[in-house]
Amino acid sequence: MVLVFVENSDGKFKKAALEAVTYGRKTADLLGSECHALVIGAADNAGELGNYGATKVYQLSNDNLNSFDSQTYTQAISGVANDKGASTIILSNNASGMALTGRLAARLDAACVSGANALPTLDGSNLRIKKNIFSGKAISEMTLTGEKKVISVTGNSLKPETIGSPCEVEAVSVDVSAPKSKVISQDKQTGGPAPLPEAELVVSAGRGMKGPENWGIIEDLANIIGATTACSRPVADTGWRPHHEHVGQTGVAIRPNLYIAAGISGAIQHLAGVNQSKCIVVINKDPEAPFFKAADYGVCADLFDVVPKLTEAIKKAKA
Amino acid sequence: MKQLVCLSKTPETTTQIKLTGDGSQIDSNGVNYILNPYDEWYALVRAIELKEAVGGTVTVINVGDASNDVVIRKALAIGADDAIRVDADPSNALGVAKSIANNVKEAGYDIIYCGKESIDYNGSQVPAMLAELLDLPFVALATDMKVDGQTATIKRDIEGGSETVEVQTPFVLSAAKGLAEQRIPNMRGIMQSKRKPLNVVSSDVNDAKTQISGYALPSGKSEVKMIDPENMDELVRLLQEEAKVL
Ligand SMILES: Cc1cc2nc3c(=O)[nH]c(=O)nc-3n(C[C@H](O)[C@H](O)[C@H](O)COP(=O)(O)OP(=O)(O)OC[C@H]3O[C@@H](n4cnc5c(N)ncnc54)[C@H](O)[C@@H]3O)c2cc1C
């Protein structure tokens, strides 16, 4: 059985979680097996995970799991996997996934791929899975030979698909020790656009902006299409924009459908984190800017002129 | 405070990745290697800062062959006290984590640091594996840490924001941007690093369950379409009808 750990965001499931369920179902189909989902904590609509491919949902509530702790969550997920006979565990490659994937693999002495960006294929009884390496400058294909496997899936690698119907939810329990770490506060943007790793549309800007006071035109463009804003590294380093907006080899690696870059030169370290975007638009006044070589569409002009015009053109097209 | 920092060696960030003729390997000809930026800039420097504040030691550990000694010496030049190199092939994350765990299990480190990922294989696996093998709590993606006695208050990145976690030593953390500021080694540090101990140990971990069976390069982009800056309507049309992303 393939067990998908579905992250529960205050009773709701984010897109990344649904993607993991669809990934799990397709992996189960490949292995001739079933796809079950595990939800920790209360969620009213857990059975709806069936729509995305799960045929059973396990719901686990335990006071020791009220706040995220990688150690107790690992005990819980591996406990359910062992009790229910799961050979493969799938999770999202996000902040909690990064804390859990390696732990689970070590605990189960399993083969492990983090950041899978395509569905597996079969090689005899082994799975083969592609993942990006060098922040997208190359791709490696991994062969998983262990009996147990742990796979974390990169966001936006596949679309959540409606391939099933609501399914049975079974309450389960496992022994979990008291957590040794405690979340004491959270500071999350509420509402607003999707966080960068999940965003389908991203508007990004670099040093060509001249200063933080000029970001209004970037925010306007982002707002009108519902995009998330990002920036180049020097922009975050000088404090013009918050660190979590920094994309590239040493920042967030993203793969949105659309990446609009204004006033960014396109240094190799920047490209490494964004070159998996499906469509790249580059606005730069220097015709020699290296970013044009990685772009689908280019506009060679002053961004202070072009960006507001683009925003207007989109408004017009939407009206 | 007894601290350990795990280091990996990675190709320098400007490296153009090329494959060998048969595509079975990354071509290492002409590649320059550096300390993994997350390990050097954030993990190592934060450990040194804490040592400066409360005393104790900073040990660095790396799994790899003797060609790694150059980057290990750099960590000593930045301010680590001593180094361990586990002489083993680092190509499998679980193998690396087991090699480290076996060598540090009895040492009683208070804080064990890793970078959030190595910039070559982007795995983010070793820190979490190490924590599990040592049965320690683990805080991933740390961007700020305050330590008061045995209690650490750590800010970590989560999707679209941050959260603050409280944990007691001993624990493992993975360092992300913000945890510290890069330090350039000075001449004195470089001279001292040559005399600091670098102990080479062997490892008998050998049970790779995950292997790399091949490499590929991303398919090249087709030629860029240049759009008249006076005609943003055309760009919008292309994004809607040709690229179908708006
Ligand atoms: C180890 C290492 C890791 C790194 N990691 C990253 C990373 O993760 N992410 C990252 O982004 N960088 C990274 N860098 C930095 C990278 O090398 C570049 O320095 C950086 O990306 C440049 O940022 P920029 O494009 O905003 O600025 P610049 O290179 O200064 O480019 C500004 C661009 O704006 C254009 N411009 C200026 N004014 C206008 C205008 N009015 N209208 C239109 N265009 C205009 C210019 O033509 C220029 O092309 C890293 C570097 C190192 C050494």
pLDDT in tens, B204-229: 887 789 999 999 998 877 899 999 99
B225, part of any domain: no
In 3D space, the residue among A19, A292, A7, A64 whose CA is nearest the CA of residue A154 turns out to be A19
Tokens 């607003």, located at residue:
A192
Cross-chain residue pair B245–A201, CB shorter than 8 Å: yes
Within 279-318 of A, beta carbons closer than 8 Å to B belong to 279-282, 292-301, 305-306, 309-310, 312-314, 316-317
Question: What is the CATH classification number for the domain harbouring A306?
Answer: 3.40.50.1220
- DSSP state string for A271-284: HHHHTT-SEEEEEE
Written as one string, the DSSP assignment of B136-194 is --EEEEEEEEEEETTEEEEEEEETTEEEEEEEESSEEEEE-TTSS------HHHHHHHT
Q: Note whether B122 contacts A295, CB cutoff 8 Å.
A: no
Whether B236 maps to a domain, the answer reads no
Residues A167 and A252 grouped into a single domain:
no
Q: Do B224 and A139 touch (CB under 8 A)?
A: no
Q: Does A266 touch chain B (CB under 8 A)?
A: no
Q: Are the C-beta atoms of residues A123 and A143 closer than 8 Å to each other?
A: yes
How does pLDDT run across A132-167, given as a tens digit for each residue? 998 888 999 999 998 899 999 999 899 999 999 999
Number of other CB atoms surrounding residue B92 within 10 Å: 23
Please report whether residue A190 resides in a domain.
no
Q: What is the pLDDT along chain A (319 residues), one digit of tens a residue?
A: 999 999 998 899 999 999 999 999 999 999 999 999 999 999 989 999 999 999 999 999 999 999 999 999 999 999 999 999 999 999 999 999 999 999 999 999 999 999 999 999 999 989 999 999 988 889 999 999 988 999 999 998 999 999 999 999 999 999 999 999 999 999 987 778 888 988 999 999 999 999 999 999 999 999 999 999 999 999 999 999 998 899 998 888 899 999 999 999 999 999 999 999 999 999 999 999 999 999 999 999 999 999 999 999 999 999 8
A136 and A257 in a single domain? The answer is no
User: Nearest by CB to A181, which of B128, B137, B214?
Assistant: B137
- The structure tokens listed for A280 are 């790249």
A 179-238 residues inside an 8 A Cβ radius of B: 179-189, 192, 194-198, 201, 225, 236
Radius of gyration of chain B (CA): 21
For B141, the token pair is: 């993606």
Extract the tokens encoding A295: 């772009």
- Half-sphere exposure of residue B81, counting CA atoms within 13 Å on the CB side? 14
What is the reported pTM?
A: 0.92
Residue B142 maps to a domain? yes
Q: Give dist(CA B148, CA A67) in Å, integer.
A: 22
Question: Cβ(A303) to ligand 1 under 6 A?
Answer: yes
Length of chain A: 319
Q: Is residue B219 part of a domain?
A: no
What is the rounded distance in angstroms from the CA atom of residue A90 to the CA atom of residue A152? 6
Q: Which residues contact B142 (CB under 8 A, 6 or more apart)?
A: B154, B155, B156, B173, B174, B175, B176, B179
DSSP H stretches of helix in chain A: 15-31, 70-84, 95-108, 216-225, 233-237, 268-274, 303-318
Task: Classify residue A204: in a domain, yes or no.
Answer: yes
ipTM of the complex: 0.94
Residue A230 CA to residue A223 CA, distance in Å, equals 13
Q: Domain boundary at A172, A206, A227, which?
A: A172
Location of structure tokens 């380093």: A237
Residue B69 gets the label, from left (phi > 0), alpha (psi -120 to 50) or beta, of alpha
Q: Do B235 and A281 touch (CB under 8 A)?
A: yes
Nearest C-alpha neighbor of B8 from the set B178, B135, B127 = B127
Q: Which domain holds residue A96?
A: 2-172
| Residue B38 with chain A: CB contacts under 8 Å | 250
Q: Find the CATH number of the domain harbouring B86.
A: 3.40.50.620
Q: Is B233 a domain residue?
A: no
Domain count, chain A: 2
B188-197 burial, b for 16+ CB within 10 Å, e for fewer? ebeeebeebe
Residue A60 resides in a domain: yes
* Residues 25-84 of chain A whose Cβ lies under 8 A from any Cβ of chain B: 69-71, 74
Q: Are residues A237 and A151 in the same domain?
A: no
Looking at the 3D structure of chain B, how many domains does it have? Answer: 1
Q: What residue numbers bound the domain in which B69 lies?
A: 2-214
Could you tell me if A166 and A210 lie in one domain? no
Whether A191 is covered by a domain: the verdict is no
Q: Does A189 map to a domain?
A: no
CATH of the domain at A130: 3.40.50.620
Pull the structure tokens for residue A238. 């000088």
Do residues A151 and A21 both lie within one domain?
Answer: yes
Q: How far is B69 from chain A (nearest CA, A)?
A: 22
